[in-house]
Amino acid sequence: MLPGQMCDSLGTPVHWDDPVIPGGFYFFHRPVPAEERIPFEVSIVWEDDDLLVVDKPHFLANTPNGRFVRESVVTRLRVDRGEPDLVAIHRLDRITAGLLILSRRPETRGRYQRLFQDRQVTKTYRALASSPPYDLDFPLTRRSRLHKPPGGRQVLEVPGEANAISRIDHLGEVAGRVGVSEYRLEPLTGKTHQLRVHMNALGLPLLGDPVYPRDLSPDPYDFSTALQLLAATIDFTDPLDGRLRRFATGLALDGSADDDGGRGTSPMPGPGPTLTSSPGTADDPGSAGAETPGVPQT
């Protein structure tokens, strides 16, 4: 171990021959191996003193994990912006694109995290899949019990009381894409892979999904085909000032995750339904963070 790789709870470097404090905490900082850069960028949607809202591209992890440390949204932004306190306050799968909210200040972080823990946040997604059969009536609500077997990648629907609920609506067939439709998905619970499992259970696996219905053991550095799932909107009442917040992604599904391959999302050609997709700040009422009334997590 190199000098400086271990420290105590105060951040003071500790050496192997130092006496151990009973009940004390020690932290080991392991070397980070070189990582291939993920060739997609994070874009800023909105920010104020407490929050940073970004659009995460496909293939980029939101937080550091065993495989990706430098190549994650949190690490990139901490380094690029010089903000070591940035923390993502909710989850978004590595292969899903769209809105991700980060906390900038430890003093207010818990109040925003509790919004997600208490399901006080409304999130909607857009997805592409095969067009539905005629015997499926939309909108519909899918309720089931999800279970992830140890060591596996797939999450399964199993008998038992439902622990996952999703609202699903068919928005129509994609222009120029026979047999491909767009869907609006709203998770009412926050189970792993919930939306992907529920769509697959309906016989409508998402385009570009490398795990459902069959686990293809994807190479994490294969960027040729993107999962056609986009975190599109997030709504909540700000716990600090009581104002309604609504954020809309500046990305759009490209619909190319088929035999021709796709490289994820493309810029939205115009503003979202209520917000512009250009970056803004809390002092800019026309920015992507402007509050809109009337609109009450996968």
Higher per-residue pLDDT: 76 or 278:
76
pLDDT of residue 124: 98
Contact 181, 174 (CB under 8 A): yes
**Rounded average pLDDT over 65-91:** 93
CA 2 vs CA 19, 30, 208, 256: distances in Å: 18, 10, 43, 48
pLDDT of the residue at 12? 83
Structure tokens at 233: 């909107």
The pLDDT value given to residue 128: 98
The pLDDT tens digits of the residues spanning 208-262 come to: 999 999 999 989 999 999 999 999 999 999 999 999 999 999 999 975 443 333 3
The DSSP bridge pattern shows strands 97-103 and 229-237 to be parallel
The domains of the chain are located at: 1-31, 32-267
Q: Give mean pLDDT, residues 4-33.
A: 79
pTM of the model as a whole: 0.80
**CATH match of 32-267 with 3.30.2350.10:** yes
Q: pLDDT class for 4, splitting at 50, 70, 90?
A: low
Q: Helix (H) and strand (E) counts for the chain?
A: 3, 15
pLDDT band at 280 (very low <50, low <70, confident <90, very high): very low
pLDDT at 130: 97
Indicate if the pLDDT at residue 120 is higher than 90: yes
Q: What is the average per-residue pLDDT within 87-92?
A: 96
Instruction: Report how far residue 245's alpha carbon sits from residue 234's, in angstroms, rounded to the nearest whole number.
Output: 8
Confidence of residue 281 (pLDDT cuts 50, 70, 90): very low
Q: What is the mean pLDDT of residues 6-20?
A: 82
Higher pLDDT, 289 or 45: 45
Per-residue pLDDT at 68 exceeds 90? no
Average pLDDT, the chain: 85
Q: In this predicted structure, what is the pLDDT of residue 285? A: 30
Confidence of residue 25 (pLDDT cuts 50, 70, 90): confident
Helix (H, G, I), strand (E, B) or coil at 287: coil
